Chains A and B, each alone.
Chain A
Amino acid sequence: MGVPTCPVVTVAFKQICVLNAAKRGMPTLRLVYSPHPVWGKSPEQLWGYMNGPDPATEKPMLPEIEGALTNPLTAEDKKTGTETPSVGPATFGPDTAKNLQDFYRNNGYTDFLPIIIPTEEAVEEMLTGTSHHPDEVVGKLAAGAFAPWSFTVRHVAINAVMAGAKPEHLPVILAIASSGYVSLISSTNDLAYGALINGPIRDKLDMNSGIGALGPFAHANAAIGRAWTLVTKNLANGGIPGDTYMGTMGNMLNYINLIMVENEEASPWPPFHVEKGFKKDENVVSMFSGLSVSAGQVGKGSGIGGTPHFEEQYTDLFSTFTGFFGALLLCDPLCAASLHEQGYDTKAKLIDYFYKHATQTAKEYRERNWSYLFEYGQALRGVEPFATWYKLPDDTVIPKFPHPERIAVVVIGGQTDPVSQVANFSYGRSISIDKWM
């Protein structure tokens, strides 16, 4: 912009801001720090901030801001050119397996669980899982508002070995890595990510879409999910607390992520990837992002003298969701069959029900943190429905989700009980796995 600028951030973000400024080519950026937090503080408390010190330097904050805008530039401030960051040597060792385990763990390359050491032989074997050249660039990944890293098929294979995957899992892992979705992001919220697998590859890899589909009961589900986390840590430089990761509590889903395999055979509706324009015999991974998964209970009306009304129950469960992240219904086939019998002969009809019946008042919407962070700015730009929603009277009833597209339904589970789960997740995009075979 060419205009003297002083970024002011709360001191909790000092490390991430200093490192990101350097990675963005401004290592001497004149950052000034305010006490943390700003959120929830009264005008009087913030007035105290203005008259107090920068907690990082102990110098008065406002005069420091003035200095950032007026102090003459140093030679370092004026520096131009380019720098190539190093990620270290191409190999580690030779050393014992135990010492290498410690090395990989202590240097942040793992998820803190033991890995398979990615030897040249193991990686070569992994590479037999794809026809793509090991040096082909797969894509770019960024774990937040950082400059993205790029990576090759070989890089993905190394991480797949570390995760304990088999060569036949590699095309799925490559498809996920090529999606642009990381599984750990710098947000202060404890975000989580999901991948849904459809197509014949589910059987070929012996993936679990039935009993315990979301649990630790299948090698492919576990290894593919774990590989995604290692890919994020090593190929996007993600998941470094205070540096590239700021989630205040973290999320237990981040270990192997929400890996879902649709039970296409038990579903009364077309598979998810067919909804997205793929053929049934294509192998596809669909990407999701969100916050949490909540286990549901058996449907309303399943007690004495009742008739199950799963759609009402799910709508109730959506009440705590933030509309920004949408809703993902993980529907057991028993529930899906019941809904189908009650007239929801397409997923679209069920989604339309949710869109119309999951509601909130305009006041509730505007008071939500995510609305303010991500949609108020769009409202100012005139983007609908947000522009309208920010003008409506407080008690106006509006949809919980701004568009039906923020709601998705996937059939999954082993039909042992008519129990479903709901996730505050939204669909992003679908990627061909076949392309990576």
Chain B
Amino acid sequence: MRIDRRKLLQALGMSPALLAGSAEAAQKKANRETSSHSSSKLVGLNPKGMPPEITLFPLAPRFSSIDGKTIYMVDIGFNNGDVFFQEMQRWFKENMPSVKTIYRRKIGAYPQDDPDLWKEIKAAGAGVIMGVGH
């Protein structure tokens, strides 16, 4: 490791400010600068980047009723999502028996797309309940 005069002074336990003159002079200079900065006005630049333009998507047309409809339950893959949807299927069976429910575990990790599954759901003319997180 290269040792310069500043580092040597630090190693000796002395202030590198000595390189700029006496400690007293260095402190006076720092005080002057602090005093000057605290009274002057600054303009700062905005550090934010450029967010993307948002394209608005309309929601898909709704069913007038889900009676007799097929509803897919799409598990995006977080732990216990399969059990969550099993219980939801049970709820529909007991409370809305005319609704046909189909459970699918989305292929791939949770952020990945699954175009084949979307194609299957669209072809079935069904609705979707998707979830569920931790």
Q: Is B68 an interface residue (CB 8 A)?
A: no
B65 contacts A80, C-beta separation under 8 Å: no
CA A98 – CA B66 in complex, angstroms?
A: 60
Q: Give the complex CA separation of A81 and B56 in angstroms.
A: 5
Bound: A69/B71 CA distance, A: 10
| Docked pose: A51 CA to B88 CA in angstroms | 9
Chain B interface size range: 35 or more
Q: Is the CB of B56 within 8 A of A65?
A: no
In the complex, which residues of chain B have a beta carbon less than 8 angstroms from the beta carbon of A151?
49-50
Q: Which of A89-97, A292-300, A403-411 contacts B (4 or more CB under 8 A)?
A: A89-97
In the assembled complex, B48 has its CB within 8 A of some CB on chain A: yes
Beta-carbon nearest neighbor of A148 in chain B: B52
Complex CA distance for A93 and B50, rounded to whole angstroms: 21
Contacts of A380 in B (CB 8 A): 105, 107
* B-side contacts of A2, CB under 8 Å: 60, 122
Q: In the assembly, what is the distance between CA of A319 and CA of B122, in Å?
A: 45
- Are B95 and A62 in contact (CB-based, < 8 A)? yes
Using Cβ atoms and an 8 Å threshold, which residues of chain B touch A25?
54-57
- List the A side residues contacting B86 at CB < 8 Å: 43
Which residues of chain A come closer than 8 Å to B127, judged between CB atoms? 3-6, 69
CB–CB A85/B54 < 8 A: yes
Closest residue of A by beta carbon distance from B71 = A69
Tell me which of A191-199, A231-239, A274-282, A302-310 binds B: A231-239
Question: What is the distance, in angstroms, from B51's C-beta to the closest C-beta of chain A?
Answer: 4
Let me know if A47 and B87 touch, CB within 8 A.
yes
The interface residues of chain A, by DSSP majority, are classed as mixed
Contact of B42 among A94, A109, A149 (CB under 8 A): A94
Please give the distance in Å from B98's CB to the nearest CB on chain A: 12
Partner among B1, B59, B88, B134 whose Cβ is within 8 Å of the Cβ of A73: B59
For the complex, is B16 an interface residue (Cβ under 8 Å from A)?
A: no
Given A37-B134, A47-B87: A93 and B122 within 8 A (CB)? no
Q: Are B59 and A26 in contact (CB under 8 A)?
A: yes
Return the CB mask of A133-159 against B: 1 if under 8 Å, else 0. Answer: 000000001000101111110010011
**Nearest B-chain residue to A80, judged by Cβ:** B56
Tally chain A residues at the interface, Cβ within 8 Å. Answer: 102
Closest B residue by C-beta to A117: B44
Q: What does the 1/0 interface line of A19-58 toward B look like (CB < 8 Å)?
A: 0001111111110001011111101001101110000000
- Check A188 for interface membership: any CB of B closer than 8 A: yes
- Whether the pair A373, B61 counts as a contact (CB closer than 8 A) is no
State in angstroms the CA–CA spacing of A275 and B93 once bound together. Answer: 59
Contacts of B51 in A (CB 8 A): 23, 85, 87, 147, 149, 237
| A109 vs B48: C-alpha distance when bound (angstroms) | 8
- A34: chain B residues within 8 A (beta carbon): 84, 131-132
B49–A234 CB distance below 8 A: yes
Name the A residues within 8 Å of B130 (CB-CB).
5-8
Which parts of B39-92 form the interface with A (CB within 8 Å)? 39-66, 71, 77-81, 83-84, 86-88, 90-92
Interfacial chain B residues near A152, Cβ < 8 Å: 50
Q: Which of B43, B118, B129, B133 contacts A1 (CB 8 A)?
A: B118
Rounded to whole angstroms, the CA-CA distance of A162 and B46 in the bound complex is 11
Contact B83 A46 (CB under 8 A): yes
Which of B47, B64, B90 contacts A70 (CB under 8 A)? B64
Whether A6 contacts B129 by the Cβ 8 Å rule is yes
Contact mask for chain B residues 100-118; partner A; CB cutoff 8 A; 1 contact, 0 none: 0000011111111000001
How far, in angstroms, from A46 to B128 measured CA to CA in the complex?
Answer: 20
Which 5 pairs between the two chains have the least Cβ-Cβ distance? A151-B49, A235-B49, A8-B131, A94-B41, A87-B48
Q: Which A residues lie at the B interface, using CB under 8 A?
A: 1-10, 12-13, 22-30, 34, 36-41, 43, 46-47, 49-51, 62, 65-66, 69-73, 77-85, 87-98, 100, 103-104, 109, 117-120, 123, 141, 145, 147-152, 155, 158-159, 162, 188, 210-211, 230, 234-237, 369, 372-378, 380-381
Could you show 20 A-B contacts with beta carbons less than 8 Å apart?
Answer: A3-B127, A3-B128, A5-B127, A8-B130, A22-B54, A23-B51, A38-B81, A70-B66, A80-B57, A81-B56, A85-B54, A87-B46, A93-B42, A119-B44, A120-B45, A147-B54, A149-B50, A155-B49, A158-B45, A373-B77
Interface residues of chain B, those whose CB is within 8 Å of chain A, are 1, 37-66, 71, 77-81, 83-84, 86-88, 90-92, 95-96, 105-112, 118, 121-122, 126-134
Known: A4-B128, A85-B54, A93-B41. 15 other contacts (CB 8 A): A4-B60, A6-B128, A46-B87, A50-B90, A103-B44, A109-B47, A123-B45, A155-B48, A234-B47, A236-B49, A372-B77, A373-B79, A374-B109, A376-B77, A377-B106
